[in-house]
Amino acid sequence: MEYIPKYFLPDEAHTITYKEPQLNNLSEYLNKQQLSINSKTLVLFYNSIGLRLNDISRIFNLIQIDEPSIVIGKSIHDKIILACTYGLEGELVDPIITANRKYADYLSLISGKDIFINTLEGFLSIDNFEDIKKLYIELSKKESLSYCSQKMHENFNDLFVEYKELLNV
User: Would you say 98 and 140 are in contact if contact means Cβ atoms under 8 Å apart?
Assistant: no
Which amino acid would we find at residue 78?
A: D
- pLDDT value, residue 74: 93
91 has a pLDDT exceeding 60: yes
E-strand ranges in 13-135 read 40-44, 48-49, 69-75, 80-86, 116-125
- φ, ψ of residue 126 to 5 degrees: the values are -90, 95
- pLDDT value, residue 96: 85
Q: In what order do the strands lie in the sheet with 48-49?
A: 40-44, 80-86, 69-75, 116-125, 48-49
Q: How confident is the model at residue 104 (pLDDT cuts 50, 70, 90)?
A: very high
Parse the chain into domains and list their residue ranges.
17-125, 129-167
Dist CA 1 CA 4 (whole Å)? 5
DSSP character for 91? Answer: H
Least confident of 55-59, 61-65, 73-77, 132-136: 132-136
Q: Which residues contact 88 (CB under 8 A, 6 or more apart)?
A: 27, 30, 31, 35, 41
Three-state SS at 165: helix
Q: How confident is the model at residue 107 (pLDDT cuts 50, 70, 90)?
A: very high
Specify burial of residue 161 (Cβ count, 10 A radius: 0-12, 13-18, 19+). exposed
Least confident of 1-10, 21-30, 88-97: 1-10
